[in-house]
Amino acid sequence: MSENRPAAVIILAAGEGTRMKSKTPKVLHPIGGRTLVGHAIHAARGTDPAHLAVVVRHQREVVAPHVSEVDAEALIADQDEVKGTGRAVECGLEVLPPDLTGTVLVTYGDVPLLTTQTLRALTAAHEEAGNAVTVITSILDDPHGYGRVVRDQDGQVLKIVEQKDAIAARESGGADAGALDIKEINSGIYAFDAQVLRDSLTQVGTDNAQGEKYLTDVLGLARAAGRPVRAHVVDDRWQSEGVNDRVQLSNLGRILNERTVERWQREGVTIVDPATTWIDSDVTIGQDTVIRPGTQLLGATTIGEGAVVGPDTTLTSVQVGDGASVVRTQAELAVIGPEATVGPFSYLRPGTELGAKGKIGGFVETKNAVIEDGAKVPHLTYAGDATIKEGANIGAGTIFANYDGVNKHHTTIGRHSFVGSNSVLVAPVNVADGAYIGAGSAVTNDVEPGQIAVSRARQRNIDGWVERKRAGTSTAAAAEAAGAQQTDAPQTDAPGTDAPGTDAPASGQDQPAPRHTASEPEGGQA
Ligand code: UD1
Ligand code: CA
């Protein structure tokens, strides 16, 4: 490729983009996870140019930093008050070496589907034919709005006539009126000989319907000077399609997505429903992975081989290991290990790291949580600011209470430890390796290896309560039929025993034996 390495690429991004009706500059609107200008820079950088310049003006204060963020090497060129694509390129040339020779490519910041491949083909065609200018053109059924490509009898490009000038010519009986019937349009993407470009631009004026300095005039000037100017016809019209409004933005976003989906299908990824699958440009997916309907793979997401993702899953910059299963999940900036399972209905917030064969199950939310190999958080849990070590099991309904209203604190659950269901771990707290938490505990103190921590009231069973307090109900009848213990004499019940579920002791009664003792705290889930 280096034999057709361009000397420079100039990307024009100074225009206003009024039809977007947006506070955000047009070229900063995204499709496929990159801004429009991000796509343009990406395609241009792929040609490995010696220099890459982006011409800015409108909302420069946001566009220029974004350009630098996308590509730190990109040169920023500021366009002045003089309007037009020709002036924009002139300003671009000002940040390049004054004695630059070779091929200069010009593209637009709002043409996101143009590929590196097309720019390379343009450069090769331009250099092999020894052209002064080569312009990418397309044949459109409806060429309305575009500059029309006027060719001579040899097929070379004679000049480009802007739509507005052709209309003005028709009204004044000028020669360029005929250009309105031409279906071959100027895409606005060109390869120029650097010298020809520099020299011609000094001769370009603003005597046209828009009072602008037209880049297209360079083609006519080069031809008039006897230099070869040719067209490079690209059949794929989407490659040169620009975004002017939000309808075009979504149309180009859809086409880009179709192309991305097809690219991964051809790489060996099963995508069940392309129409409901959205894959950003920077995502990577391994072979034999299955993407089920309703899935969005966004940002810098990477998915290994043989994984299953979806249905109805949104992953933003998530790393998914080989053979993992991620079902009905929302995740961002998380790592899911090989053969791990996530979902359904899981919410993985930034800093979640699930180890190999680990599990995050239904209605579980995690944040800044490292869940090591083989550890399981299967049901109805919030795990925030947690380390859950290898093989540990977190029972259903466990809450890692990480926030005291002022600060966030960390909880550690040791290797192969077991947290009983419906426990709350009040951070900071450290449960050692090989420890247990009894179900329903509120854990505020550290637990040592081999210990069980239980912090709930013991169960008391009060004989005859149903007979006394719920006489005549179907429950009382069922109790009697089941051989409930009868109480001979009416007892005085302490306040609080009217309602089930209260803890107050019943006076005059022996403390009933707890059904479960601290030696059998089961209540976690597998
Ligand atoms: C231009 C071409 C036209 C072509 C069409 C393809 C000229 C004179 N006309 O027309 O032949 O068919 O593109 O889309 O070149 N820009 C600047 N500075 C400016 C003006 C524009 O940076 O002063 C940038 C814009 O941000 C945009 C690009 O150049 O990215 C094209 O500008 P636009 O105004 O859309 O050009 P058109 O009039 O559509
Ligand atoms: Ca345009």
pLDDT tier at 486 (50, 70, 90 boundaries)? confident
Q: Is residue 22 part of a domain?
A: yes
Last residue of a domain, one of 399, 434, 453: 453
Report the separation in Å between the CA atom of 347 and the middle of ligand 2, taken as the mean of its atom positions. Answer: 42
Nearby residues of 376 by Cβ (< 8 Å), 6 or more positions away? 358, 359, 361, 392, 393, 394
Q: Is residue 150 part of a domain?
A: yes
Query: Ligand 1 within 6 A of 133 CB?
Result: no
Q: Is 379 among the residues known to form the active site?
A: yes
Nearby residues of 54 by Cβ (< 8 Å), 6 or more positions away? 10, 11, 13, 37, 41, 67, 74, 75, 76, 77, 109
Q: Is residue 279 part of a domain?
A: no
Question: Which ligand sits nearest to residue 25's alpha carbon?
Answer: 1
Last residue of a domain, one of 211, 240, 269: 240
The reply to whether 155 and 47 lie within a common domain is yes
Query: Ligand 1 within 6 A of 12 CB?
Result: yes
pLDDT value of position 489: 55
Report the separation in Å between the CA atom of 186 and the middle of ligand 1, taken as the mean of its atom positions. Answer: 10
What's the domain range around 417? 287-453
* Mean confidence (pLDDT) of the chain: 93
Q: Taking the model in full, what pTM does it have?
A: 0.90
Q: Is residue 487 part of a domain?
A: no
CATH number for the domain harbouring residue 335: 2.160.10.10
Which of the listed residues 60, 83, 85 should we mutate to test ligand 1's pocket, taking the one with most ligand atoms within 8 A of CB? 85
The reply to whether 231 and 292 lie within a common domain is no
456 assigned binding-site residue: yes
Q: Whose CA is nearest to atom 13 of ligand 1?
A: 188
What average pLDDT does range 308-315 have in this prediction? 98
Q: Is residue 524 part of a domain?
A: no
The reply to whether 63 and 205 lie within a common domain is yes
pLDDT tier at 491 (50, 70, 90 boundaries)? low
The reply to whether 376 and 304 lie within a common domain is yes
The reply to whether 222 and 305 lie within a common domain is no
pLDDT tier at 4 (50, 70, 90 boundaries)? confident
Q: Which residue has the higher pLDDT, 309 or 523?
A: 309
13 assigned binding-site residue: yes
162 assigned binding-site residue: yes
Q: Is residue 262 part of a domain?
A: no
Q: Is residue 272 part of a domain?
A: no
Neighbours of ion ligand 2 (CB under 5 A): 242
CATH number for the domain harbouring residue 197: 3.90.550.10
The domain tally of the chain equals 2
* Minimum-distance ligand 1 atom for the alpha carbon of 79: 18
Query: Comparing 109-118, 383-392, 510-519, which segment has the lowest mean pLDDT?
Result: 510-519
Report the separation in Å between the CA atom of 196 and the middle of ligand 2, taken as the mean of its atom positions. Answer: 24
Query: Ligand 1 within 6 A of 110 CB?
Result: yes
Strand, helix or coil for residue 238: helix
Query: Ligand 1 within 6 A of 190 CB?
Result: no
The reply to whether 21 and 98 lie within a common domain is yes
The reply to whether 235 and 299 lie within a common domain is no
Q: 9: part of which helix (H) or strand (E)? A: strand 8-13
pLDDT tens readout for residues 196-230? 999 999 999 999 999 999 999 999 999 999 999 99
CA atoms within 13 A of residue 259's CA, in its CB half-sphere = 16
190 assigned binding-site residue: no
Question: Residue 442 burial (CB < 10 Å; 0-12/13-18/19+)?
Answer: middle
SS3 content of the chain, % helix, strand, coil (to 5): 25, 25, 50
Query: Ligand 1 within 6 A of 27 CB?
Result: no
230 assigned binding-site residue: no
Catalytic: which of 42, 66, 379, 516?
379
Last residue of a domain, one of 403, 429, 453: 453
Tell me what percent of the residues of the chain surpass a pLDDT of 70: 92
